[in-house]
A and B are shown apart, each in its own frame.
Chain A
């Protein structure tokens, strides 16, 4: 029993990281109508940008975190200006292929600058808190609380600000949003800032929990998409639920199968979902 509870705790930590990626994928899908295959590498980028701050500049993570998040958002918006903007009139499939190209370019730049080896933010091991056979590291508590805070901020943004409402409107009905005078390019800009910013937060959390390497985000892409599909693509709250379900399932699967096959669980859940309920739990766009 303790073992199961322990795996659920790890699952919630992993699920938090997946959730932060899945919200972004869902948001870009809702507003720009394409599956953003570079999202994993955007997460990697965020993690490495934070490494500049805590590594060579030895600043505290708390100060570096928002800077890396904003910088990643701005870079994603810049990539949109340079590349995706020119493809808006082509089919979403072409944008998808283009995002695969972006993924390659981001990953190769990261490898060029930081090299292919594993990196860590800080040396040393932290002592886990222990409570009745259950263990959790302080960083893991930070990750879960950080995710809760970011998701709460997102909720407030989407419901309390004009831009947030415009974003939801565009996600619901692009043409209706346009004729009611919403500046779509501005909404797209903010969508990139938020989607990539949350992705960067997820990437940094993953770096804190494990290590940084140039393919960390690409490896996470499958669970991230699985979470977004599970929750119903285009639905932010679904993405949160999907992320936690995928995270916990991946960890619990180690009770039955080799841990090497963890990503296969995300795929299995996604396939079942695609077969039986392609609109997702929360009934997003098909």
Chain B
């Protein structure tokens, strides 16, 4: 029983860490590669979750729905709608200073939060959307957390390989160049605006995928699940701790910060009932403190960004190793 409980906990831990990893990899495209500050990650996460939930649930008088689409369709639509929201934000702010994007993104996050809470016909308001189907419900009997973990790991793997492949593409080279020196990139004839919009859009789509995974994992979503603390700040601290611009760093940071976050919960949950909400504020303080310490002492994170290998270097390595 002890062992089974521990295994269940590990499966739960890894599943949530995997969902966070998807969000962090999405943010890495925006902040890590391009230098865009999105303080509204929670909005894209929530929009993804609600899109997939609305499209896959059975008819309900409480909210829009009844489409009963399969999980994959829900996840793809989640990415598309989150990307559309990303496009809107990007088009407003793309040619302004970075700070304005940050401010506009908290605005979007606030409006998305208000819509989720108040548009009951769409989202059932604060009561949330229940009975979001298990992606495997048609294929296997009962519920299998381990199988869902497998789906999450496949999603993380796909996203990781895609962004890692992208990292070595000319597209990301341009993004990194824009981050370093916008004028120089403009002078070499690249459409900076277009690259920025594309980066923001792609990052938002990946966050939408994270939202879809989350919705089908918990099978119940409500606005309180997308508070900025969980939806935005943890994601940021994970990326900065791991190493902005480094996909492997993003994964490592997700794991380490999620370990700290859940680990500290074990201590605070020991507190007397009436103190729990107060004591759990210490955990948030700790996350803020970790962020400050990293920014001051090791701004590059655990695994610093390394420039991608050029095709020429790859070629040289290959011919070098064959000569041996």
Which residues of A line the B interface, CB within 8 A? 29, 34-35, 37, 83, 86-87, 90, 92-94, 96-98, 100-105, 107-109, 111-112, 115-116, 221-222, 225-226, 229, 258, 260-261, 263-264, 266-267, 270-271, 274-275, 278, 286
Contact = CB atoms under 8 A, between A and B. Distances in A.
Given A87-B295, A271-B107, A96 B114 contact: no
Contacts of A94: 295, 299
A270 B288 contact: no
B51 to A, nearest CB: 20
Interface stretch (B95-103, B206-214, B215-223): B95-103
Contacts, number: 126
The 9 closest A-B pairs by CB, nearest first: A104-B288, A101-B291, A105-B288, A267-B107, A108-B284, A108-B281, A111-B281, A108-B285, A35-B99
B287 A104 contact: yes
Given A221-B106, A267-B110, A270-B104, A109 B281 contact: yes
Given A105-B288, A263-B110, A264-B111, A271 B282 contact: no
- At the interface, is chain A mostly helix, strand, loop or mixed? helix
Contacts of A225: 103, 106
25 contacts: A29-B99, A83-B292, A94-B295, A96-B37, A97-B236, A97-B295, A100-B291, A101-B237, A104-B233, A104-B287, A108-B281, A108-B283, A109-B285, A111-B284, A112-B281, A112-B282, A116-B277, A222-B107, A229-B100, A267-B107, A267-B108, A271-B107, A274-B92, A274-B100, A275-B92
B117 A260 contact: yes
Given A37-B39, A98-B295, A112-B278, A267 B102 contact: no
Contacts of A105: 284-285, 288-289, 292
Contacts of A97: 37, 236, 240, 291, 295
Nearest to B108: A267
B35 interface: yes
B296 interface: yes
B241 to A, nearest CB: 12
B111 A102 contact: no
A223 B215 CA distance: 31
Contact of B288 (A108, A260, A274): A108
Given A101-B291, A111-B278, A274-B100, 18 more contacts: A35-B99, A83-B296, A87-B295, A87-B296, A94-B295, A96-B98, A97-B37, A100-B236, A101-B292, A102-B292, A104-B288, A104-B291, A108-B284, A108-B285, A112-B279, A222-B110, A264-B110, A274-B92
Contacts of B103: 35, 222, 225, 229, 270
A278 B100 contact: yes
A86 B296 contact: yes
Contacts of A109: 281, 285
Interface string B232-249: 010011001000000000
A221 B106 CA distance: 9
A103 B291 CA distance: 11
Contacts of A104: 229, 233, 284-285, 287-288, 291
Contacts of B292: 83, 98, 101-102, 105
B127 to A, nearest CB: 16
Contacts of A90: 295, 299
B114 A263 contact: yes
Residue among A35, A108, A226, A229 having the largest count of chain B Cβ atoms under 10 Å: A108
Interface string B37-59: 10100000000000000000000
Contact of B37 (A93, A263, A271): A93
A103 B237 CA distance: 13
B93 interface: yes
Contacts of B269: none
A267 B111 contact: yes
Contacts of A222: 103, 106-107, 110
Nearest to B282: A112
Nearest to A103: B288
B118 interface: yes
A93 B99 contact: yes
A134 B272 CA distance: 49
Contacts of B240: 97
B89 to A, nearest CB: 10
Given A97-B236, A97-B240, A102-B288, A271 B114 contact: no
B97 A286 contact: yes
A108 B106 contact: no
A111 B285 CA distance: 10
Nearest to A266: B107
B152 to A, nearest CB: 27
A103 B288 CA distance: 8
